[in-house]
Chain A
Amino acid sequence: MSKPELFQRDREWHPRALTPDYKTSVSRSPNYPLLSLQSSDSEITGPTFGHGDIDPIDNDLLRNYAKTGDPIGERIIVHGRVLDENGRPVRNTLVEVWHANAGGRYRHKKDTYLAPIDPNFGGCGRTLTDDEGYYIFRTVKPGAYPWRNWVNNWRPAHIHFSVFGTAFAQRLITQMYFEGDPLIPHCPILKAIPDARAIERLIAPLDLNATVPLDSIAYKFDIVLRGQRSTFFENRPEGN
C-alpha cells in the first residue's frame, strides 16, 4: 500500500523547546536534538472521531455548563477553518478549546487566582469541522490573568486550541489571542515564537461580518495543519 508523507515540520517557525524567558521551559526542554524520522504508518495514521463521540451543545460554552443562567462576560463567537498547508479543508476533525472565564480564572483544582469561579462557566468546548473544514464556538471572552514567571507577568486573553488532523504527526496545540490586546507584545510564552509573522498567525481579528447583531461579537481564527505530499512511500518489500 502507498501512503502520503507529510511536509517536514518547520522547526524554525515553531517555538524552540528551550526559551529561557518562559522559565518553566528551562528544565522541561530536551538537551539533545530530536531524532528525525521519515513518515511510516505510525506517523501518518491517526485517531478519528464522529458525531457519536460528542454532543451538539459541546461547542456552546455559554450553555454547556450553565446551571442558573448564562456565564458573566462579553459574549463572543470564535470561528474559522482548519486547513492543511496545501490549502485543503481538514474535514471532520476534532477541535477542542479551553480558556479562563471573564475574570481570568480557570475551573481547575490547581488554579488559585483570586478572581472568582463563574458557577455557569465550565471553560471547555469541542466540535468537529464540517466538509469545508469550518468550526464555530460560542463563549465569553476570557480575561487576562497573572502568572508566576517574572513578578509582574500577565497572560494576554487567550483560548487554547487542540486539533487532530488525519495523521498523529499533525497533532497540534496552540493558543489564540485577540486583536488589539495590549498584553500581546509583553508575553514570554508568545515571544517564544521567533518569527513575528508566525506570532501574527495566532492573533484573531475582529470579524464584524460574523457578529450577531445585538447579541455576540465575533473573532475569526483559521488553523493550518501540516500538509501531505503528493509523493508516496511504499511499505511493502520490493516485488510484493
Chain B
Amino acid sequence: MVQSLDYLKETPSQTAGPYVHIGLAPGAAGFDIYRQELGHDIAGPNASGTRINISGTVTDGFGAPVKDVLIEVWQANAQGIYAGDGAVEEGFRGWGRVVPDFETGLFSFDTVKPGIVMGREGRAMAPHLNLWLIARGINIGLNTRMYFPDEVEANAVDPVLGLIEQPIRRETLIATADDAGCRFDIRLQGDRETVFLDV
C-alpha cells in the first residue's frame, strides 16, 4: 500500500439552466433587487485605448440563436495588463456579463480593445477577449477567445491560434469588422463550429 493522496476533487459542474439571469443578471430576468448589478461596465470610465462595440449571436447545432445564453468576458486593458495583475486604470475591472436580447438572440457590449498580453515562454498573445458561455443545455461552461480582425500580424504568431491544426478553424475565433466595431458569432455545434478551449 502507499499513502493516499489527500487532494480534494473539484465540485462537479451543473448547467446554469434557463433562469441563470435571476442569479447573475436579475434585471434581465425582470426585476430589480440589488443596489448595483455586477458586470455591466467592463472597462469603466477611465480606461485608455480604443472604445469598441462587439455584437453577435450564439447559435446551436441547428443554427438557431441561443437566446438564454449568458456570456462572461475577461480581458486585459489596452496595455495588456489584467486587473489584479498590475496597475490598471481606476475602475477598470476587465470583466463583464453579456445577455442577448431574449427575442432575437443578438448580444452587444461595449469595452476597450485590449493590448497584447505576454504568454508562456515570452510569446506574445495577440489582443483577445476571454469568453465563458453558460446556458440551459450546457453542462459545463464553455471557454473560448475572441481575437480582432485588424491584428493580422499578431494573430498569425499567436501561440493559441497556432495550436489549432486546421487554419479554417482558427477563423472561428477571429471577429469580423463592422461599422460599430466587431461582429463575433459563436457556433456551439456544426458548420464552422467555434473552437472551445480546455483551459
Q: List residues of A whose CB falls within 8 A of some B CB.
A: 7, 9-11, 13-17, 19, 22, 24-32, 34-43, 45-49, 53-55, 58, 64-65, 83-87, 94, 96-98, 106-111, 122-124, 126, 160, 162, 168-169, 171-175, 189-190, 192-193, 195, 198-199, 201-202, 223-227, 233-238, 240
Residue ranges of B at the interface with A (Cβ–Cβ < 8 Å):
6-24, 26, 29-31, 33-36, 38, 60-62, 64, 66, 68, 72, 74, 76, 82-85, 93-95, 102, 117-122, 125, 128, 130, 132, 134-143, 145, 160, 163-164, 169, 188-190, 193-199
Given A96-B23, A234-B122, A236-B122, verify A42-B11 contact (CB < 8 Å): no
Q: Shortest beta-carbon distance, B85 to chain A, in Å? A: 5
Residues B12 and A15 in contact, CB atoms below 8 Å apart: yes
- A22→B23 CA distance, assembly (Å): 22
Question: Which B residues are CB-close (under 8 A) to A160?
Answer: 14, 16-17, 20, 23
Q: Taking A35-B197, A58-B34, A234-B122 as contacts, is the C-beta distance between A193 and B117 under 8 angstroms?
A: no
A106 to B122, CA, bound (A): 49
Chain B residues in 8 Å Cβ range of A96: 23-24
Whether B33 lies near A122 (C-beta < 8 A) is yes
CA separation between A236 and B35, bound complex, in Å? 42
> Which residue in B31, B136, B163, B169 is a CB contact (below 8 Å) of A24?
B136
Please tell me which one of the listed residues B12, B29, B121, B199 contacts residue A39 in the complex, with CB atoms under 8 A apart. B199
User: Measured between C-beta atoms, what is the minimum distance from B61 to chain A in Å?
Assistant: 4
A37 to B134, CA, bound (A): 20
Q: How far is the CA of A40 from the CA of B10 in the complex (A)?
A: 21
Q: Which residues of A contact B82 (CB under 8 A)?
A: 41-42, 45
Knowing A35-B196, A39-B199, A98-B23, say if A46 contacts B12 (CB, 8 Å). no
15 A/B residue pairs, CB under 8 Å, sorted by A: A19-B139, A28-B138, A35-B198, A42-B117, A43-B130, A48-B83, A55-B34, A86-B8, A122-B33, A126-B34, A171-B132, A172-B11, A173-B14, A173-B134, A190-B14
Chain A residues within 8 Å of B68, by CB? 110
**B118 engages A13 (CB within 8 Å):** no
